């Protein structure tokens, strides 16, 4: 009903339907239940113990052509499966962004030994290897999608993204083509954020509320732009959180391809205190 009234107003006044649709999406996201309560002060969010959040990229066996640096972002299949087994055997329980959001804002109780599993860049192996492995342990994850790659060779298709969403995983935005947020100007916000968000909402049939910064890089100027677009939290990598907007600088650590399960466990304990 609200959308019909908006469209009627648009037809009378000649306002851009693109702008109205964007406004409607933002308005809808702000009435999803989260925004009905006052948000916690930044100091309160920062005071809560951090939940360990892992960031995975490619899940495949190393090739001779892989550089030493790239192997940090490429985790061999057996190693990934060993990571998941270690987490399950150690009593970790995966949580999703809504749970993290409610915990950070309202102190909502989390399961014992909570952890979040996130995946960047839309690689096909996240669908063919990661998701089935996680299913064995009842784990759920967050897949941050770079929409330029959808349907390309070695990347997920739209249907596979929807399957992940339908299976209870969360789909988030990772821009159109991984362009550094700190360099946005002109139409970049429309190209990199607005269009991908709309596309992912159409694919999943759900609001897209969470964002991961390409390269983990962010600046204070990006945060109000993300808020205007209906995002309620954003994820970086392991840098210091912003003292004013910690919800938009949530920390993650890259799960290195070099890490054996015991190394991962040690890193979790040390990195999130």
Do 84 and 160 fall into the same domain? yes
Torsion (CA) 243, 245, 246, 251 in degrees, nearest 10: -110
pLDDT in tens, 232-251: 999 999 899 999 999 999 99
pLDDT in tens, 16-61: 433 334 433 444 444 455 556 899 999 999 999 999 999 999 999 9
What residue numbers bound the domain in which 9 lies? Answer: 1-31
Query: Coil, strand, or helix at residue 186?
Result: coil
User: DSSP H helical segments within the chain, as ranges?
Assistant: 2-13, 17-29, 42-47, 77-89, 97-106, 124-125, 131-136, 158-166, 188-189, 195-204, 222-228, 261-271
pLDDT confidence of residue 61: 98
Do 156 and 177 fall into the same domain? yes
Provide the greatest CA pair distance for the chain.
Answer: 64
Do 113 and 5 fall into the same domain? no
Stretches where the chain sits below pLDDT 50 are 1-31
pLDDT confidence of residue 273: 61
Do 47 and 27 fall into the same domain? no
| Spatial CA neighbour of 168 closest among 145, 138, 194, 147 | 138
How far lies 130's CA from each of 75, 77, 118, in Å?
Answer: 11, 9, 10
CATH of the domain at 59: 3.20.20.370
Do 201 and 235 fall into the same domain? yes
Give residues with Cβ within 8 angstroms of 16, minimum separation 6: 10
Do 26 and 44 fall into the same domain? no
pLDDT confidence of residue 25: 42
Do 88 and 21 fall into the same domain? no
Do 26 and 114 fall into the same domain? no
Domain count along the chain: 2
Do 124 and 42 fall into the same domain? yes
pLDDT confidence of residue 15: 37
């Amino acid at each position: 009903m609200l959308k019909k009234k908006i469209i009627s107003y648009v037809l009378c006044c000649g306002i851009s339907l693109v702008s109205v649709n964007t406004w409607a999406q933002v308005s809808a996201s702000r009435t999803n239940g989260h925004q009905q309560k006052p948000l916690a002060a930044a100091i309160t969010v920062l005071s809560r113990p951090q939940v360990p959040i892992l960031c995975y990229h490619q899940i495949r066996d190393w090739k001779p052509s892989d550089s030493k640096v790239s192997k940090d972002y490429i985790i061999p299949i057996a190693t990934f499966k060993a990571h998941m087994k270690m987490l399950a055997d150690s009593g970790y329980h995966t949580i999703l962004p809504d749970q993290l959001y409610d915990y950070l804002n309202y102190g909502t109780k989390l399961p014992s030994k909570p952890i979040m599993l996130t995946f960047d860049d839309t690689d096909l192996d996240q669908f063919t290897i990661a998701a089935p492995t996680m299913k064995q342990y009842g784990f759920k994850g967050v897949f941050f999608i770079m929409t330029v790659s959808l349907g390309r060779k070695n990347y997920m298709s739209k249907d596979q993204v929807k399957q992940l969403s339908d299976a209870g995983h969360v789909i988030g935005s990772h821009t159109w083509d991984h362009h550094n947020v700190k360099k946005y100007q002109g139409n970049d916000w429309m190209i990199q954020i607005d269009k991908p968000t709309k596309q992912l909402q159409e694919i999943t049939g759900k609001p897209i509320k969470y964002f991961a910064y390409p390269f983990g890089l962010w600046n204070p100027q990006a945060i109000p732009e993300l808020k205007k677009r209906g995002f309620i939290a954003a994820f970086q990598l392991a840098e210091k959180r912003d003292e004013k907007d910690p919800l938009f600088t949530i920390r993650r650590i890259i799960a290195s391809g070099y890490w054996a399960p015991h190394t991962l466990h040690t890193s979790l304990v040390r990195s999130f205190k």
